[in-house]
Structure 1
Amino acid sequence: MSIYGLPGSRICIGIQPQGVDLQTILQKRKIHCVGKVRHNRLAGCSFSDDKVMKKKGRGTFEEKATSYDGVQLRAVKWHDNRAVHLFSTFTSANPTISVQRWDKKKKETVQVTCPSVVHAYNKSMGGVDLLDSLIALYRTKIRSRKWYHKIVFHMMDFTAWHLYRRDCKDCGIPKKEVYSLLKFKAEVASCLCNKRKVLKKRVRPSHNEKKRRGSASSVPSTPGRCKYPGCKGIVKVQCSKCVTYLCFTADKNCFMNFHKQ
């Protein structure tokens, strides 16, 4: 596995499928890490049950510390609306801070205790988790054998989310009046579908190379403009074989020159 990063760097990871092994490898390269982890990836690390922590209230947390392969690791379980597990090699639960959260039952903002490791994770990854959530709600589904089609439509969903957030922020729209993401994307799609199509200009058919080199005995019959390069004369005759307007006068013979090139 190839890992690139400057020593002393700090990185945040979403859900870590590798768990302990990944953070150990990073820390040995002096790359500090913090991220979410599934509880089943924390072998030998037991926390209180979710129901027990829920009874204690929001902001309840537990911390476990250990040393694995010479690396100091800390795991924290924090209960907000639901339990979340975080893993870090450079920060811990303390010192704690107080954050504002919305209480649905009381219908008001309340203060909730937040561990330092959670604050460090949310500072860098809060918007990323929100992005993943919104994209998953209204993902553009497409079935195609061309793999890059899915990448293109995923980037369109990503851009639509940014435009949605920017529109709400720049216009100062109250949260109660903000359009839903579904309605916003529907309006964008409607504008793109109703955009006027650019009509292609009709192109004159080019002359046939074999016919024009075949013979110079063509008989002109209709008027037109001379097609010989460099000649802008208006003629009243046309080659009936290669259907090309050419002039032949006492001063110049574009008809003969064109067929002998």
Structure 2
Amino acid sequence: MGIVRKPSIRSYWHKNPILATPLFPRVMKRERYENLMRFLHFNDNALCPPRNDPMHDRLYKIRPLISLMSAKFTDNYVPDQNISVDESLMKFKGRLLFKQYIPSKRSRYGVKFYKLCESTTGYTWAFRIYEGKDNHLDPPGCPDCIGTSGKIVWDLVYPLFNKGYNLWVDNYYTSIDLFKNLYCFETLACGTVRKNRRGFPQILTAGKRSRGSSSSLRQEEVLALRFTDKKDVYMLSTVHDESTVPVPVRGRTEPLEKPKCIVDYSKFMGGVDLTDQCIQPYLVNRKTRAWYKKIAIYLTEIAIFNAYVLYKQAAVQKPYPFLEFMLEIISQLILTPAPVTSALESGDL
């Protein structure tokens, strides 16, 4: 339904030749589909701890699926050296305690996902769902000094410690304390930083600079840098030195010398955005008050894209586009006849 879009669910079973889609009534009756969606559950609600219980889980309704997807995403793929952490918003406008409003996102209202993705392919290797401010995150071995945003990064990245990864983050997560602690576990990091972040050298923020100028300071393994283009850009990095590279600029005959950390940041930071861009045209955006069903569908779409990344890497010939890949999955699931098994093989005897 993310590929063939119609104004309502019932339109998919409409008999009007203008709206008719023969595949849907051929596969399943409308009443059966509606009943399946109505009674779709992923956990036993009767066993859910009450809200005043210390063991209460706000994601209890969907927790088994989250655990399954998380395990499959990490077990079936080893990301390349460059990984990025960023947030993504699943559109949801119903009533929900941990619903977020992020005006910079296209959806604006929804459920926030923190994702760790491979920078070059967009493969989602790990994810966490935001559960509210009062949800205390305590990942293994995490120091208290890195703050809440740092704990999010730590929780996603710690299974990859001591393996030589380069991590790319934006200014919400970047801090000197986080980068120093990651460095101790052979995980280098680079990201934009807010100029008022604790520990950032204020000498770099003072005064106005001409366009194209850069200045930097280094303390042990951490490089702090300011570069002035159309506006000031502040960076922290344990990956780079102060070197610059020429970058072509539209309307100028001579290239602009930019710090290499900024060029690499632009190249490797977009892993999460790449995933969102690929699945956005095919998202199933149906209104529902059952938030856990929307999360289940969204996780399924992420899983399909992850499978597409694996397919592209294993393909001997030119791989299908993502749309063709999804159509092939649909064809295999609902158009290919199920194999006939004997009663003995099926366990009915």
Q: Output the TM-score relative to the length of structure 1.
A: 0.45
Larger Rg: 1
| Larger RCO: 1 or 2 (CA < 8 Å, sep 6+) | 2
Tell me the TM-score normalized by structure 2: 0.36
